[in-house]
Amino acid sequence: MEKTVLTAAGRAELEKQLEYLKTVTRKEVAEQIRIAREFGDLSENAEYDEAKNEQSRIEGEILHLEQQLRNAIVIDEDTIDTNVVSLGAFVTVMEAETGEEYTYSIVGATEADPMEGRLSNESPVGAGLLGHAVDETVDINTPGGVCRYIIKSIHRG
């Protein structure tokens, strides 16, 4: 079984998604199926087929979320080491070339959202920063070339 690394907030978000799928989306799809059945002959009923396909997709998503939560390793934010960049930590870096600063949260792949500043520990930048301390300069190979970052601070959320 593949383990899913999550922050407490990430676990809460997955639990919220799962609850919504089970309590709201399932009912909506069941209603779509009920309405489609009223159209008559199910063998030539595109609305019914579409609703059943949606039901299968939703049930698959529910199973996937349940499995992720069952196999989750939740990062205890109180134990995050702030001496070096680690999973669950927030890190502020300065891009050496431009002087621009960015703050990232290093999270498991499930929670990653680069546009929101959440980098996967498996991404080039996330993995490249792991284990490095404040004031270290880190060269990271990215798809766009080598980026040089200076670690300015590491803290808990």
**Residues 50-61 pLDDT 10s:** 889 999 999 999
Residues 87 and 150 in one domain: yes
CA distances, 28 to each of 33, 67, 154 (Å): 9, 23, 45
Nearest by Cα to 154 from 78, 96, 80: 80
* 128-132: average pLDDT: 96
* 103-122: average pLDDT: 93
Instruction: Kindly tell me if the per-residue pLDDT of 157 is higher than 80.
Output: no
pLDDT in tens, 11-43: 999 999 999 999 999 999 999 988 888 877 666
Confidence of residue 101 (pLDDT cuts 50, 70, 90): very high
Residues 101 and 64 in one domain: no
Q: What pLDDT shows up at residue 42?
A: 65
Helix, strand, coil % (nearest 5) of the chain? 45, 25, 30
Q: How far apart are CA 148 and CA 106, in angstroms?
A: 18
Residues 89 and 67 in one domain: no
Q: What pLDDT shows up at residue 81?
A: 83
Residues 16 and 32 in one domain: yes
| Burial tier of 115 (Cβ tally within 10 Å: 0-12, 13-18, 19+) | exposed
Confidence of residue 48 (pLDDT cuts 50, 70, 90): confident
Domain hosting 48: range is 4-74
| Alpha helices (H) along the chain | 8-20, 26-37, 46-70, 124-129
Number of structural domains the chain divides into = 2
